[in-house]
Amino acid sequence: MKPTNTQVLFRQEPHGFPTSEDFEIVKTPLPDLAAGQVLISNLYLSLDPYMRMLMGGGWTYSGNPMTPGQVMVGRVLGKVVESNNPDFTPGDRVVGRLGWQTHAISDGSNLDFKIATKKDVPLTAYLGACGSNGVTAWVGLKIIGNPKAGETVLVSAAAGSVGSAVGQIAKTLGCRAIGIAGSEEKCRIVTDEFGFDACCDYKRGDLAEQIQSVANDGVDVYFDSVGGEMLDTVLPCLNRAARVPVCGVLCQYNAEGGCYGVKNTRLIFDKKLRLQGFLLSDYREVWSEARAELEDLVASGRLRYRETIATGIENASEAFTGMLRGHNIGKQLVQLM
């Protein structure tokens, strides 16, 4: 007897932070497999800020906003349980954008990769440090930031899955890593567990002074996932010809009303700064290289990470909103099975 599929659907555009009213949980029967398809039992769901943009609010970065009634978009780690596709065998672990659901039928086109088990790399790392978050950190820092040994790398959201990886990768390149996080406890984790040289608590209200006190020689690379007022504060701290990889705009995802207007834009010209937004999908050709390097770093203990794991698909929306509010540390996952 085939299992029933439990799905979380997008119901309506949120006003500000999402609430339970913006989602709908349904149970649907699973059809028989067609030729070339596989049935996947989803084990873990990855929750990430970009999902909020897909729920509406004028964002166009993906070109494919969700419509009411659609299964919520998201990456999943799952196990193949039935296969009519010669490229997959029951028992294979796969990662792909399969959505907020307990099961998925796929022809393989929406799968990112098949996991080749590596010693000392936990399975869930392939949704975080060795998955899209780690690869985002790798691409943004190494390709766009292009840091050199001895330079200072400043990282926003440093206690999160992407930010924590950025600082640790920077350390392997011989750089000084400074984080920005939202509490004394998160700053302690950033320095004591993730090995950053220093961390600034933006909620204290004196972020510019904190950065200047720990980056006496200025900042050469600023990895930005927040934007807005924080970017405005950081711009005067950047050195001439500094690079700013931009992987997100956390301050705006749930904002109601107008966007924050950055005031220090003249510094982009004065200091010859380079700000570049990027999407991970534009760098598919390096995904395998990046993942292999990240696997080695995790296996050797040089890349540490944390996970915040909710249990049960019925709790996914609450965990999602909590992640957007910064309640998680490291990677936010939902254990589905």
Residue linked to tokens 């924590």: 164
Say if CB 9 and CB 36 are below 8 A apart.
no
Distance from C-alpha of 24 to C-alpha of 314, rounded to nearest angstrom: 10
Asked whether residue 238 carries a pLDDT value surpassing 90, the answer given is yes
State both tokens at 87.
């490229």
Q: 205 — alpha (psi -120 to 50), left (phi > 0) or beta?
A: left
Asked whether residue 181 carries a pLDDT value surpassing 70, the answer given is yes
Query: Per-residue pLDDT tens for 61-73?
Result: 766 789 999 999 9
**pLDDT value, residue 59:** 74
Say if CB 146 and CB 246 are below 8 A apart.
no
Distance from C-alpha of 105 to C-alpha of 41, rounded to nearest angstrom: 9
Average pLDDT over residues 10-35: 94
**pLDDT value, residue 315:** 97
Average pLDDT, the chain: 95
User: Residue 25 pairs with which residues in a beta bridge?
Assistant: 8
Average pLDDT over residues 28-40: 95
Among 95, 112, 45, which Cα is nearest to 73's?
A: 45
**pLDDT value, residue 62:** 67
Q: How does DSSP classify residue 139?
A: I
Distance from C-alpha of 105 to C-alpha of 83, rounded to nearest angstrom: 10
Average pLDDT over residues 131-138: 96
pLDDT bin (cut points 50, 70, 90) of residue 255 is confident
Distance from C-alpha of 94 to C-alpha of 136, rounded to nearest angstrom: 19
Instruction: State what percent of residues in the chain have pLDDT above 90.
Output: 89
State both tokens at 252.
């705006």
Query: Per-residue pLDDT tens for 308-330?
Result: 999 999 999 999 999 999 899 99
Say if CB 115 and CB 292 are below 8 A apart.
no
Residue 7 or 281, more confident = 7
Name, in order, each residue with C-beta under 8 angstroms of 148's C-beta and a sequence gap of 6 or more. Answer: 173, 174, 175, 220
Average pLDDT over residues 152-161: 97
Torsions phi, psi of 330, nearest 5?
Answer: 75, -145
Q: What pTM did the predictor assign?
A: 0.93
Average pLDDT over residues 290-302: 97
What domains sit in the chain, N to C, each tagged with a CATH number? 4-121+306-335 (3.90.180.10), 132-281 (3.40.50.720)
**pLDDT value, residue 257:** 67
In the chain, % helix, strand, coil (3-state, to 5) comes to 35, 25, 40
Average pLDDT over residues 66-94: 97
